[in-house]
Structure 1
Amino acid sequence: MRIVLVGPPGAGKGTQAAYLAKNLSIPHISTGDLFRANISQGTPLGKQAKAYMDAGNLVPDEVTIAMAQDRMAQPDAENGFLLDGFPRNVSQAEALDRALADDGVHLDAVLDLEVPEDEVVKRIAGRRICRKNSAHVFHESYSPPKEPGVCDACGGELYQRDDDSEATVRTRLEVYHTQTEPIIDHYKAQGLVVTISALGKVTEVTERAMAALERAGTAQQK
Structure 2
Amino acid sequence: MAGAASTGRGLLISLEGGEGAGKTTVLGALRERLEAHGHRVVQTREPGGTPAGEAIRALLLDPAQALSASAELLLMFASRAQLVETVVEPALARGETVLADRFTDASFAYQGGGRGLPMALVAELERSFVRRQPDFTLLLDLDVAAGLARARARGGPADRIEQEQAGFFERVRAAYRARAAAQPERFAVVDAAQPVEAVVRDACAALDAFLARRGEGG
User: Would the TM-score normalized by the shorter structure come out above 0.5?
Assistant: yes
Evaluate the alpha carbon distance shift between residue 199 and residue 174 of structure 1 in structure 2; reply closer, same or farther with a 3 A threshold: closer
Cα deviations across residues 73-114 of structure 1 (Å, max 9, x unaligned)? 2347732112222112153595399724xxxxx743211112
Root mean square deviation, CA, Å: 3.9
Structure 1 runs not aligned, ≥5 long: 101-105, 130-160
> Structure 2: how far apart are the matches of 1:207 and 1:192?
19
User: In structure 1, what is the equivalent of residue 100 of structure 2?
Assistant: 83
User: In structure 1, what is the equivalent of residue 84 of structure 2?
Assistant: 69
- What is the CA-CA distance between 1:128 and the residue it aligns to? 3.1
- What is the CA-CA distance between 1:24 and the residue it aligns to? 1.4
Q: When the two structures are superposed, what TM-score results if normalisation uses the length of structure 1?
A: 0.60
Find 2:15's aligned residue among 2, 5, 15: 5
Evaluate the alpha carbon distance shift between residue 127 and residue 75 of structure 1 in structure 2; reply closer, same or farther with a 3 A threshold: closer
Aligned to 1:11, what secondary structure does the other structure show? Answer: coil
Find 2:150's aligned residue among 85, 101, 123: 123
Find 1:176's aligned residue among 143, 161, 172: 172
User: In structure 1, what is the equivalent of residue 209 of structure 2?
Assistant: 215
> Structure 2: how far apart are the matches of 1:196 and 1:96?
30
Q: Quick one: higher RCO (CA 8 Å, sep 6+), 1 or 2?
A: 2
> Structure 2: how far apart are the matches of 1:39 and 1:108?
23
User: Would you say 1:193 and 2:207 are equivalent positions?
Assistant: no
Evaluate the alpha carbon distance shift between residue 13 and residue 182 of structure 1 in structure 2; reply closer, same or farther with a 3 A threshold: same
- Is the CA contact 1:115–1:199 (under 8 Å) kept in the aligned structure 2? yes
> Structure 2: how far apart are the matches of 1:84 and 1:13?
7
Structure 2 runs not aligned, ≥5 long: 1-10, 36-40, 109-118
Aligned length: 175
AA of the residue aligned to 1:124: A
Aligned to 2:155, what secondary structure does the other structure show? Answer: strand
AA of the residue aligned to 1:28: Q
Identical aligned residues as a percent: 18
